Amino acid sequence: MMPLLDVRHLAKQFSRTRGLFGAGSVLRAVDDVSFTIEEGETFGLVGETGSGKTTTGRCVLRLIEPTSGEVRFRGEDVLRASRRRMRELRRQMQIVFQDPYSSLNPRMRVRAIVEEPLIIHRLGGRVERRARVDELFGLVGLDPALADRYPHQFSGGQRQRVGLARALALNPSFIVADEPVSALDVSIQAQVINLLQDLQQQLGLSYLFISHDLRLVRHICTRVAVMYFGRIVEMGETGSLFASPQHPYTRALLSAIPVADPDARTPRLVIEPAGIDSTRPLREIADGHWAAV
């Protein structure tokens, strides 16, 4: 069966100039990244600051134009889609941002924020849109009576629900969730994660779940790719990857997770960036488990 999303050899380079006459250098933010996401799957992209995980997510949606590579959504080449076709595709592919404080326009009532995609895509009249917004509020567990308030009147968790309602407005099948809970308090994180899982079941969504939190990724994702300096260094089923990590970076990353158990002291592994051969290609070491070793 055709995967929902098929990313092949994706690359994004940023050029840095050095002064007026200096030779520029090229930063490979995303370097030959390939993965697929199946229908109904939650695919995790983990890595630390600067690993290229967010850039990868944005390139998939063409919020950033990749330098090269291929992104196929249900077989269709997204990177070569016309402006008009891209607009149609965006109804299928949406994003939820990390920061619920800066990603909502503070001067708009939340009803208008959630309704805006419907207006842009000319879906329904005033009455239908109003009903749809109420429905979306119900879907994400917000009281529709709060729809006429402004973002600052909501807590962080509620704002993330508003962002989710907006992303769901066009009835997408695929959502890029870029660190959707990392700005939230622990007790609220669990609420939003549960909501993401409920919505997935209810609406048949697929997620690209971008996160630095390995505990969360292990909990919610079916498959995981680990990024390091723009490349995927390991990828596999969540269970297999967490049980037998193969790449030295994955091992160091897993050993660094603080465990909420005073009696479970795990030895920390230290990673030496110089010790990693970044040109090594991924190879399949077990069924569906790939590592650059």
Site string for another protein, 97-136 (x = CB under 8 A): ----------------------------------------
252 binds another protein (CB under 8 A): yes
170, 218, 240, 285: residue in contact with another protein (rule CB under 8 A): 218
Cα torsion 281, 285, 288, 291: sign: negative
Note whether 12 and 79 are within 8 A (CB).
no
Helix/strand/coil for 93: strand
Note whether 42 and 207 are within 8 A (CB).
yes
Site string for another protein, 167-196 (x = CB under 8 A): ------------------xxxxxxx-xx--
4, 253, 291, 292: residue in contact with another protein (rule CB under 8 A): 253
204 binds another protein (CB under 8 A): no
What order do you get walking across the sheet with 76-77 strand by strand?
Answer: 25-37, 5-16, 68-73, 76-77
146 binds another protein (CB under 8 A): no
Note whether 63 and 264 are within 8 A (CB).
no
How far is Cα of residue 14 from the mean position of the Cα atoms in its chain? 21
Note whether 57 and 176 are within 8 A (CB).
yes
CB nearer to another protein: pick between 191 and 244: 191
Name the E strands within the chain: 5-16, 25-37, 42-46, 68-73, 76-77, 93-96, 174-178, 206-211, 223-228, 231-237, 283-286, 289-291
197 binds another protein (CB under 8 A): yes
Residue span binding another protein (CB under 8 A) among the ranges 68-76, 121-129, 155-163, 285-293:
155-163
* CB 160 to another protein: min, Å: 12
* CB 41 to another protein: min, Å: 12
Question: Applying CB under 8 A, which residues contact another protein?
Answer: 48-49, 155-158, 185-191, 193-194, 197, 212, 214-216, 218-221, 238-239, 252-253, 255-265, 268, 270-271
